[in-house]
Amino acid sequence: MGLLKILIGLLVIGFWAPPAWTYEEVSVEDGGTIRGKVTLAGELPRPMAFNLVTIPDPVYCGRISTGTGWRIVEDFIVSPDGGLKDAVVILKGIKKGKPFETKKVRVEAIDCDFSPFINVLKKKDELTVVNMDPIEHDIQGYETARERGARVLFNRPLPMNPFHKVLGMMNSHKHMPGKPMIENVHLRKGRNIFVMQCGFHPYMFSWGVIVENPYYAITQEPGEFEISDVPPGEYTLTVWHAGMKQYLERKITVSPNETLEANFEYTAVKGRRSVHEMHENPHFGLELLGEGVEIVPSLRLQTP
């Protein structure tokens, strides 16, 4: 009887438990604005780089490369004054405010790159990936967490469009979309970051951040951001960047009709940050491609 009473009690508690907190859309009066800039102090971190000779489709994908057979991951784009692009700024602790609508996220696999590099979604939003290249890609999605490691969200091939028209030696072609891959993104409780990578071309990355309210911004190349129509109150302002993989945050108080300035600065990582870096290896030189085969950065020359 004692165990039965405990079970009944737990059922009653579960039945009468208050509903999970959700964001409420209301009319915002006397809202404030948060403006600021995210910067990177110090020298640019050493870039991740991949030897195209060891990876499929080196000639086509090498249209963006160093000219020496390497493809660089451009996860740090910094303006001359240190402004950091693609940092996500999120306002936490806000329970109600302006309408919460996110744009439908479409990621294109184009020129052996994912575009855009960073995306913002609601939980369970649809993610559409389209192949614009005349080659195949393999889409792998992972949710990330420092404590418990990554978990696979999806892994699906992304075939090329069979009607692609390639001109010359793969140097140019007419971009035509293939059949889209559509996934609903659902992360475990407490996680809000996921990454998408190509299993064939591992230098292709696209990151996603799950948000719980519409008060967020993605910095552009000058590193600047603006979040408007913020109800007066006390909140936590948080910044995340894929290359740094760490949060910066600060407490802020927004007053009615106020324009508040909030700046953040990352300190650049020093030394090696990845096993994938440029280094000379006589066993994996361009000669492995065969006589007359070249990797030509005809679309964009990358600087190490």
| Structure token digits, residue 230 | 């913020």
User: What mean pLDDT comes out for the span 184-197?
Assistant: 87
| Mean pLDDT calculated for residue range 141-161 | 81
Average pLDDT, integer, range 86-91: 98
For tokens 């209301």, name the residue.
26
Q: In which band, very low, low, confident or very high, does the pLDDT at 146 lie, cut at 50, 70 and 90?
A: low
Residue 272: pLDDT band with limits 50, 70, 90? confident
Rounded-to-10 torsion of CA 146, 151, 154, 158: 50
Under the banding of pLDDT at 50, 70 and 90, the label for residue 6 is very low
Residue 67's alpha-carbon distances to 58, 173, 294, 300, in angstroms, are 12, 20, 10, 9
The whole-number pLDDT of residue 165 equals 65
Predicted confidence band of residue 114 (pLDDT cuts 50, 70, 90): very high
DSSP bridge pairs for 121: 210
| Segment 156-183 mean pLDDT | 74
Structure tokens at 302: 């990358």
pLDDT in tens, 210-257: 999 999 999 998 999 999 999 999 999 999 999 997 899 999 999 999
**Domain range 23-94+219-304, its CATH number among 2.40.128.50, 3.40.50.11030, 3.90.1720.10, 2.60.40.10:** 2.60.40.10
- Beta-carbon contacts of 84 under 8 Å, excluding residues fewer than 6 positions away, are 38, 39, 40, 76, 77, 78, 219, 223, 241, 266
Q: CA 211, 217, 220: angle at the middle one, nearest 5?
A: 135
Which one has a higher pLDDT value, 8 or 46?
46
| Distance, CA of 131 to CA of 261 (rounded, Å) | 40
pTM to 2 decimal places: 0.85
Average pLDDT over residues 103-116: 94
Asked if 28 and 231 touch (Cβ cutoff 8 Å), the reply is yes
Percent of the chain with pLDDT over 70: 85
Cis peptide, bond prior to residue 159, ω within 30 of zero: no
Q: What is the CA radius of gyration of the chain?
A: 23
Nearest of 24, 80, 76, 26 to residue 49 by alpha carbon? 76
pLDDT for the residue numbered 187: 84
Please report the pLDDT score of residue 12 as a whole number: 38
Show me where the domains of the chain are located.
23-94+219-304, 101-212
Listing DSSP states for 220-269 in one string gives -TT-EEEEEEEPSEEEEEEEE-TTT--EEEEEEEEPTT-EEE--EEEEPP
pLDDT reading at 2 higher than 60: no
**What pLDDT score was predicted for residue 149?**
66
Mean pLDDT of the chain: 87
* pLDDT value at residue 271: 87
Chain mean position to CA 18:
34
Q: Which CATH number fits domain 101-212: 1.20.1560.10, 3.40.50.11540, 2.60.40.420, 3.30.750.24?
A: 2.60.40.420
Work out the pLDDT band at 21, boundaries 50, 70, 90. Answer: low
Secondary structure (3-state) at 161: coil
C-beta of residue 46 within 8 angstroms of C-beta of residue 37 = no
